[in-house]
Amino acid sequence: MRKNKPLDESRKTGQTSGTKMAFYSIKIVDVFFDNYAHKKRLMFSLQCFCHFLEMFPLRLETYSHLQISPDLEIEYGDVTNIYNCDTFNENEPPTSDPTYISTLGSDVYEVMSKVNKDAVWLMQGWLFYSDSSFWKPPQMKALLHSVPFGKMIVLDLFVDVKPVWESSSQFYGTPYVWCMLHKFGGNIEMYGILDTLASGPIVACVSENSTMVGVGMCMEGIEHNLIVYELMPEMAFRKDKVHVEVINV
């Protein structure tokens, strides 16, 4: 990768909240920039000065290795076998062909496993909700089953409102974490679906053929409602539902 000259004067600087930002064009030699996003997303990507890389196996391995390096263990120690990768979060694949999707998923995991033979792929399940019109059962299965069983964990990201595990037969057998999203963008509102939080993890855990392996929180902001953030982590240690009383004030 090399840094080219700055873009023209009208695009190279911006002003946001009093802070100047400099934008530079980046050139990756011999890489195909795939314009597979539909028009709306393409316009968004152009405004953000970003592009999508076609994930051919050789290139995927080459550039992913920059992010997943054995040097990380030297720098930080042997802290985890779990690696996060969200290939199509709010970004559709170029084709709905299950074979393509399966091959891509297999290639992603291969990169991880070459660096760490015990690697586990952690992936947000947000795409299965936000883009459910694309991710039908064949496409979901292709991605979820593209790695050995137990080597992928899905975050059911918005399960407190839209539980994907219920509509996907427990993510078609893939382990998942019951996650509370609760709020977007740090919005300050006094709300929380307490009855769902007090029962949802238990219902999912004891459901037939459950693949739930944990409870988590993935909120975009925290602590504006202390009751919610006391109750949610408590549910990780509960075997029974918590009775929530409604008190009219």
Look at residue 42 and tell me whether its pLDDT is greater than 60.
Answer: no
| 13, containing H or E segment | strand 13-16
Those residues whose C-beta lies under 8 Å from the C-beta of residue 174, and which sit 6 or more positions away, are: 144, 145, 149, 152, 153, 154, 211
Look at residue 246 and tell me whether its pLDDT is greater than 80.
Answer: no
Average pLDDT, the chain: 77
Q: 83-87, 159-163, 187-191 — which is least confidently predicted? A: 187-191
pLDDT tens digits, one per residue of 63-81: 555 456 666 677 777 778 8
Contacts 24+ apart (CB under 8 A), 20-24: 23/49
For residues 156 and 249, give the distance between their C-alpha atoms in angstroms, rounded to a whole number. Answer: 34
For residues 185 and 222, give the distance between their C-alpha atoms in angstroms, rounded to a whole number. Answer: 10
Map out the domains of the chain with their CATH numbers.
Answer: 55-237 (3.20.20.80)
Q: What per-residue confidence (pLDDT) applies to 183?
A: 83
pLDDT tens digits, one per residue of 193-219: 899 999 999 999 999 999 999 999 988
Q: Which of 92, 97, 89, 85 is nearest to 134 (CA)?
A: 92
Inter-residue contact 102 to 96 (CB < 8 Å) = no
pTM of the model: 0.75
List the 176-180 sheet strands across, edge first.
82-84, 120-124, 152-156, 176-180, 212-217
Q: What is the mean pLDDT of residues 80-91?
A: 86
Residue with tokens 């802290």: 79
- Residue 226, token pair as written in the block: 């202390």
